[in-house]
A and B are shown apart, each in its own frame.
Chain A
Amino acid sequence: MHKKTFLKIALALIVAIGLVFAVKALFPTQIEVGKKTIQITVLVQQDDGSMKTIFDQSVKTDAEYLADLLLELNDNSVLSVTLAGEATDPYGRSLIAINNIEITNWEAGPWWLYNSDNNPDCVAVGYCSGIDSCPVYDGDVFVFSYTSTY
């Protein structure tokens, strides 16, 4: 690679890093810390298509992100949760099982889907982002559904 091209790329990277810092400074993520109360509902689709509630509880947590909350519930034996991948993956970890109900067919489902009607981030964009990038706020209600319909 020519030295000039290398310099241009280095300059572009410096500009990008500068922009990242600018974005972080202008739009900081407002994560709530301290005790939060989160309502968790877990639904499993039955053979006749109906949804059966297998878990419906309010939990207290200090978790900042949904993935942290799920792992906390797993550690406290409230729910058995299995995640796949790494938090550093481009889209974070994936939820693959709750209470040993596991996604076995990634093509056709059923999959573990989740939504919230009152989490500000989910409401703002119309869907909840990955569990590692979905902040949890006091009073959030999350519904996890094991379903092949979305």
Chain B
Amino acid sequence: MRSVIQIVIIGMLASLTLASQVIMSFLPNVELVTLLMIIYTISLPKGNAFFIVITFTILEGLIWGFGDWVFGYFWIWSLLVLLTVLFKPLIKDNSDGWAIFAGSWGLIFGLLFAIQWAVLYGITAGYAYWIKGLLFDIIHMVSNYIIVLLLYKPISKQFYKLYDRLEGSYGTHN
């Protein structure tokens, strides 16, 4: 059972992620969500990042309207959390490594949505969706790379510090 403080943290971080997405939505495919999800996955107790993904996706649906893309957000952002867990022992705390990881994620993001599109509407539709979004995937790749390269260290450092302080005050472990 998750403690009250953990549930509050999940809600707060999901809202923070949503706010970052909405603020930057005027720039197509430039986002802080990937960086934040990586930091949450690395820093928070096991499983919490998945709950943040679920809460964030529901909030996104409330802001932008529910569609098939919401289902995509559930599994695609969850996949990022899973991949972060898998790559964590390899990359450790290396900002270059996480920048390449985030850039690669940005490049395949459209492909993952295209897979869902292909399942729902047929292979041709999925292929067309992927090709049509390729230039945006490249923007996503390079922006993710630069954002994580520049911000991973300072934000994760502050995040660890604040989270440690919070643990000291309330004890957030299960």
The yes or no answer to A85 lying at the interface (CB within 8 A) is: no
Stretch of B5-13, B31-39, B56-64, B133-141 lying at the A interface: B133-141
A129–B135 Cα distance when bound, in Å, is 15
Q: Is B85 interfacial (CB-CB < 8 Å)?
A: no
Q: How many residues of B contact A (CB 8 A)?
A: 24
Tell me if B's interface is mostly helix, strand, loop or mixed. helix
**Contact at B149–A5, with CB atoms within 8 Å?**
yes
Q: Which residues of B contact A124 (CB under 8 A)?
A: 124-125, 128-129, 132
User: In the bound complex, what is the Cα–Cα distance between A126 and B135 (angstroms)?
Assistant: 19
Can you give 10 A-B contacts (C-beta < 8 A)? A9-B146, A9-B149, A15-B142, A16-B142, A20-B138, A23-B135, A23-B138, A27-B134, A124-B124, A125-B128
Interface code B120-132, partner A: CB below 8 Å = 1, 0 otherwise? 0100110011011
Nearest-Cβ distance from residue A121 to partner chain B, whole angstroms: 8
B168: chain A residues within 8 A (beta carbon): none
A104-120 vs B: 1/0 string, CB under 8 Å? Answer: 00000000000000000
Interface-central residue, B96, B138, B150, by most chain A CB under 10 Å: B138
Q: Say whether A16 contacts B138, CB under 8 Å.
A: yes
A interface SS class: helix
- Beyond the given pairs A12-B145, A12-B149, 6 more chain A to chain B contacts, judged by CB atoms under 8 angstroms and listed by A's residue number, are A5-B149, A9-B146, A23-B134, A23-B138, A27-B131, A125-B129
Query: Which residues of A come within 8 Å of B, CB atoms?
Result: 1, 5, 8-9, 12-13, 15-16, 19-20, 23, 27, 90-91, 121, 124-126, 129
- Chain B residues, Cβ within 8 Å of A23: 134-135, 138
